[in-house]
Amino acid sequence: MIFNKALNSFGQDWSNKTPSLKKDILEKMYGHRASICPSASIDKIFVFSRSRPFDLIELEQLLQSVGWSQRPLRRVRRALDHSLIKVGLWRHDPKFPRLVGFARCTGDGILEATIWDVAITPVYQNQGFGKKLMVYMIQSLKETGIKRITLFADPGVISFYKSQGWTLEPNGQSCAFWYAN
């Protein structure tokens, strides 16, 4: 329900325009419960996946493309292993899907979760993918029963999250809150 609400906020219905994949190909390449990410592109397919493994070099390249400093790959692997949910946004290619977006969250798995490391490669920024990734992440967390979601974000992107209904922490620096109904 929350996913459709966010898509409707773009003022268009992408359901007839978004290319699709056969279910068996979608699951084989991207794993169980992978889903198509609606887009305005008529020739590119984008896929959300919580189970397709990440190539650490490709993930690091994505994160560096948005201006983050390099992190030791062993630590990144451990962070991914200890995350509740990891979501990749992939531009589909039958031979070599490309990672174009990423987000992960940590938490207790019952009551609270914190979203970290949200990134969309610059080529696909300002096309609605960041918002769709956040909607997908929130929907995934709500499905697990999480009632409180926090988000850590750099000051330069706070306006992006505020436009989605996130509330800034009291000092207004880097943390936003969202409460599930």
Q: Distance between CA 101 and CA 110 in Å, rounded?
A: 26
179: amino acid identity, one letter: Y
CA distances from 33 to 29, 58, 87, 97 (A): 11, 22, 11, 17
Q: Is 87 helix (H, G, I), strand (E, B) or coil?
A: strand
Q: Give the start-end residues of each E strand in 25-97.
A: 35-37, 46-49, 85-91
Which residues are annotated as catalytic?
Answer: 161
**Greatest CA separation for the chain:** 48
Contacts 24+ apart (CB under 8 A), 50-59: 50/85, 50/86, 50/87, 50/88, 50/140, 52/88, 52/90, 52/97, 54/80, 54/86, 54/88, 54/99, 54/102, 55/99, 58/98, 58/99, 59/99, 59/102
